[in-house]
Structure 1
């Protein structure tokens, strides 16, 4: 299994490529949040419970959760996947709306569930655990809020669970369903690092019914979120002016990347403002062409016509443009 962001693998694939590498293989914003200086005690002391509670209050407001009691703060959403899959007592099956982020299927299998990966929304409700990534990674597909809430209601009625992964919702037109998490049968995941350009901070949130949230926190244990992450996230989640300006900046960059790719004869068919999605018979050739020029994109071994391309950083556009213009 491969993921984006692996420059060691890129160097092995293209040993003659020029350095430094431009990493367009992830959906992480090239604009990191400009946080204030991290106080020394954030490193020297264990995180205080009051600081965690305050972060959960801010996150609840930022994401539209009913209350802080509905919010779990974790060291990235990745660690939450097997925990949540393991909470479905008596569950035997999982259904995942695909193609999508592969870790959801892996986590469900680790929990001992039989996994169905399907592109048909109507097939999902028969499973005990259902996963929908919305907006989707890598295609950008958006499932309407009404359909998700209807599915959550069906799962709640039979004691199942719907997980809606909203990792890319910060830049999306998709309506969040976090406000409905208190009804039960629903877990909403939110990623901090992607929109705020700080994936290495390792911070994410689960939003769900307080009883289920308490179970997840018990499994995470104390001090799940680091002191530096608490400091940065409290600022970033409250900074609505920066959020609005960054959404506009990302949208403009995504439009610029679309124009660049279209000029190379590669029309974009999906994605979000943090990544663009191409489905084209020349996807493998484009991956190789960019890679030989020190630009890594995200390919999919099982879907050779698919390619995901992240946004270039401010100093990377010239090399990306040159690579696109010379592609045939």
Structure 2
């Protein structure tokens, strides 16, 4: 991290509500958690009186099976954002440029700037057409947040090959990839994959995730990662969750069906962007965004104001939740 850059970098707005009277459509986390996760957490409490084993062998094995890579390529982190910070920390020097998608997750810009790097924004749907030469890294968010589109695996691998030829690191944020049936880039040379257990398993407060890399990139990540990066409960619960294949499949099916139903219901009244993620980006048109947010809150719902994302000025983002909750959202939006 560049000490001279820290004072010029600000915090980034996010979704999420701490008002338990509201149904939270602003955060894209699963409203369900795997059965038995609470018992795994309770069982892990007994070992918190000592430091966790820093090799995190069982967590690495579970993560490797989850994304189909070698366990030795897994680097445990306290969430996906910690994986991103680690990735930028070992790839970006002060003054170097990093290509970022827009609109997309605002933390990319912040984290690059904290390293003293220079963000180079590119429209997210044009990202795979850029020349990676001369940049320290290129970031892909797959599927992209907040728009929801996923890159086709063949296109992504062709772009990765171009990055390798240019000597440019590809940083792939796959926080929402497990809601699709697309393969991970985990284990590919020249890429740092960042994964989060927050979204699929509905545990943003757990702070569990991991990075995946190979070769010298892996060596640098391993050297730079914090010792005891995961608490014992985070490691044990994360390991347990990644083994729940039926839960993942059921969640994926539910999100697919509900997302399509929500899109069909809202299309026409709103501009609904195509999505392969557990959320939808809505263009509200001539409606006043603030008034719409207030209207939804009056109905007991909170939405994500997407105007905080670059290139968006008349948009909200809504999560795909449980059917009965989605019914309330559709009614509220169609009544606005």
Asked whether the two chains share a fold, i.e. TM above 0.5, the reply is: yes
Q: Give matches, 1:181-220, under 5 Å.
A: 183=189, 185-220=190-225
Runs of at least 4 residues off by over 3 Å: 312-319
CA offset digits 1:94-147 (Å, max 9, x no partner): 101221101111111111111111112222513221001011111112222233
Following TM superposition, by how much is the alpha carbon of 1:7 offset from its aligned partner in structure 2, in angstroms? 4.1
Q: 1:283 to 1:69 in 2, by over 3 A?
A: farther
Q: Give the aligned partner of residue 26 of structure 1.
A: 27
Moved more, 119-128 or 224-233: 119-128
RMSD: 2.3
Question: Are the counterparts in 1 of residues 170 and 192 from structure 2 also a CA contact under 8 Å?
Answer: yes
CA offset digits 1:260-307 (Å, max 9, x no partner): 434x82252223341111123237143332133331111123522222
Cα distance in structure 1, aligned partners of 2:153 and 2:304 = 29
Q: Give the aligned partner of residue 14 of structure 2.
A: 3
CA offset digits 1:303-324 (Å, max 9, x no partner): 2222210123466345434423
Question: Are the counterparts in 2 of residues 97 and 124 from structure 1 also a CA contact under 8 Å?
Answer: no
Following TM superposition, by how much is the alpha carbon of 1:173 offset from its aligned partner in structure 2, in angstroms? 4.1
Q: Decide which of 273, 289, 314 is 1:305's aligned counterpart.
A: 314
Q: Give the aligned partner of residue 125 of structure 1.
A: 132
Structure 1 residue runs without a partner (length 5+): 9-18
Q: Give the aligned partner of residue 7 of structure 2.
A: none
Q: Give matches, 1:277-316, under 5 Å.
A: 277-281=281-285, 282=287, 284=289, 285-301=291-307, 302=310, 303-313=312-322, 316=325
Q: Give matches, 1:84-163, under 5 Å.
A: 84-88=87-91, 92-119=96-123, 120-121=126-127, 122-126=129-133, 127-163=135-171
Q: How many residues align?
A: 311
Q: Give the aligned partner of residue 176 of structure 1.
A: 184
- Taking structure 1 as the reference length, the TM-score comes to 0.86
Q: Give the aligned partner of residue 86 of structure 2.
A: 83
Q: 1:35 to 1:211 in 2, by over 3 A?
A: farther
Q: 1:102 to 1:21 in 2, by over 3 A?
A: same
Cα distance in structure 1, aligned partners of 2:324 and 2:50 = 37
